[in-house]
Amino acid sequence: MPQYTAPLRDMNFVLHELLQVERQYRELPAFAETDRDIMDSILDLAVRFSENELAPLNRSGDEEGCVFRNGEVTTPKGFKEAYAKYVEMELGALSEPVEYGGHGLPHSLAVVRSEMVWSANRSWGMFPCVSHGVIRILVTHGSQDQAHVYVPKLVSGEWTASMCLTESHAGSDLGLIRSRAEANADGSYSITGNKIFISSGEHDYGGNIIHLVLARLPDAPKGSKGISMFVVPKFLLDVGGGMGERNTVSCGSIEHKMGLKGSATCVMNFDAAKGFLIGEPNKGLGYMFILMNSARLGTALQGVAGMESSYQGALSYAKDRLAMRSASGVKVPEREADPIIVHPAVRSMLLTQKAFAEGGRALVYWLASLEDIVEASADVEQRKAADSLMGLMTPIAKAFLTEMGLEVANHGIQVYGGHGFVREWGMEQILRDARVATLYEGTTQIQALDLLGRKVLGNQGADLKHFTGTVLQFCNAHADDAAMQEFVTPLVELVTEWDRLTQSIGARATGDPDEIGAAAVDYLYFAGYVTLAWFWAKMAKAAQEKLVAGTMEPGFYQAKIQTAQFYFQKILPRTKTHSAVIDSGAVVLMQIGNI
């Protein structure tokens, strides 16, 4: 099975040569002391933990799965012990607030840690990941008492968290939820209802589990405007803030899933469980979006992590597997056949994997750097601009990178041939684990509607124009650079096409609102391909500069430029198909009355 090795060289290329994060950190007072030595030491910890503790548990965790018995969940062998080491190493506290026991480091550094965790063992990574968003909700909108009581133990990892949003009849339409909250005389609330698909709702790691629950008050308005948010601990707290008596919240069952078998996905039952209102009544949906935006960026990162795992497995196998001779002449005469990596069809799959994994890494790390600005910049306008850009790009990153993650995982299986279909090689697990990422935290279709309907047409394209203007600024800056023409010329054409498509959809939608839904998914794919093209052009430029200046690693930088060329020549033309589908409109979809 694939043996995960953290791609530290490429991670450092993105952080230090493409994004130049140290320069950004120096301009943000909260992160000014985060120098290269600190970053390297943190990443070294993450490498050792992911490679030595998590990766060896990946397949065994999938084979064993979680076990549910009498309301209790037992995680696979080794998972609990790995979590204890994670807590001991304080890896979960990297970017959490200092005042609550965290290290206050940049989000862009924590994202690198998270990529390693997701790549090494995606099921295990589900357990600690929710806590980061819950901490942010409690710090931002919880009371001082709630933050004081819950956050330090969540930061330390002594306690974990879950978010309880989905109900069986509602799915993504949270306006339909039925869970109810009734006020108690002591200021608490009794929460009653059932939630499904709750990651880490129950486990055997020990400590308290802090559930964030959406529910309705008796006088709440109908729909999404009548949702409140509550904190409901598994164990109520004693007078000292420790765990007291068990609350009336329980796990009714766990899901038997296609993938992520080592992660507990729970049905949670709330039977007049004691909960406490977060913030104001009927404002829960707004609070939830803080958590969801963080979760969607994390899901985009899961897409990248799966790409990296599949690429590593496929590349290693393609170098060793012998089959036939190269059409252009024998490459390894001392062996009975050539390794399959010499064949163009196999190289096409491997380069597609590489192009999406490395391009996706650049996109997600960049978004994390924007998150650093939103949190730490003293410039109000800079924070506002970064936040708007994140809002526009998050649905693109979440949906596009998880969909491409499926393509990359499929290629990984295909490179192995029949062996890829066999469990012992580990490639089919990557695909099974990757499949859910296009579903949870909002399906690809939901993300597409959010992008086109809300983020683009909803503000007359203002945020999109800001982003495409940035792309054009880069292109114009290198318009006279002969080495960059193969990248900037098609980018300018595609930005122009992006603007045309947006205006065309907007015009058609004034007469038929279904035009937005008909175009949305292809529009998102188009946006994703163009966005990654911008990053590949930027990476090509960074590599060219290194080669001109002289470097001890010419092979690394030449491969960057060559992968960029592959992306532009072999992948970017897909945008033409999406343009044609968008232009075909909604009629052919809606005219069939009897599907």
Planar angle of CA 161, 163, 165, nearest 5 degrees = 165
Q: How far is CA 325 from the centre of its chain?
A: 40
Domain that holds residue 51: 8-154
In angstroms, the CA 470 to CA 537 distance is: 13
Of the ranges 57-66, 291-300, 395-404, 516-525, which one carries the lowest mean pLDDT score?
Answer: 291-300
For residue range 201-224, what is the model confidence (pLDDT) as tens digits?
Answer: 999 999 999 999 999 999 999 988
Task: Report if residue 46 sits inside a domain.
Answer: yes
Backbone angles phi, psi at 371, to 5 degrees: -60, -35
Mean pLDDT of 118-136: 95
- Residues 475-509 pLDDT 10s: 999 999 999 999 999 999 999 999 999 999 999 99
Tell which of 283, 306, 339 closes a domain: 283
Both tokens assigned to 197:
């698909």
Looking at the structure of the chain, the number of domains it has is 3
Supply 45's token pair: 């910890």
Both tokens of residue 43?
Answer: 């990443």
DSSP string, 153-189: HHHHTSSEEEEE---TTTTT-GGG---EEEE-TTS-E
- Asked whether residue 173 carries a pLDDT value surpassing 80, the answer given is no
- Same domain for 138 and 226? no
Q: How far apart are CA 595 and CA 590, in angstroms?
A: 10
> Tokens 């913030």 appear where?
279
Amino acid (1-letter code) at residue 7: P
Sequence letter at residue 96 = E
**Confidence at 241, pLDDT banded by 50, 70, 90:** confident
**What whole-number distance in Å separates Cα of residue 102 and Cα of residue 55?**
26
Asked whether residue 12 falls in the same domain as residue 150, the answer is yes
In the prediction, which pLDDT does 171 show? 67
CB contact set of 63 (below 8 Å; sequence gap of 6+)? 261
Residue 130 and residue 194 in one domain: no
Confirm whether 325 is domain-assigned. Answer: no
**Tell me, what DSSP letter sits at residue 252?**
E
**Domain match, 217 and 277 both:** yes
Give the CATH number for residue 42: 1.10.540.10
pLDDT in tens, 324-359: 999 999 999 999 999 999 999 999 999 999 999 999
pLDDT for position 290: 76
% the chain with pLDDT above 70: 100
Residues assigned a catalytic role: 441
What's the mean pLDDT when you consider all of the chain?
Answer: 96
Q: Tell me the CA distances in angstroms from 95 to 104, 141, 172, 242, one per residue in order.
A: 5, 18, 29, 24
pLDDT at 490: 98
Asked whether residue 172 carries a pLDDT value surpassing 90, the answer given is no
User: Span 38-46, mean pLDDT?
Assistant: 98
CATH code: domain of residue 208: 2.40.110.20
Tell me, yes or no, whether 111 and 189 share the same domain: no
| pLDDT (mean) for 10-18 | 98
If asked whether residues 56 and 132 sit together in one domain, one would say: yes
- The mean pLDDT of 298-311, rounded to a whole number, is 98
Tell how strand 189-199 and strand 249-254 pair up.
unpaired
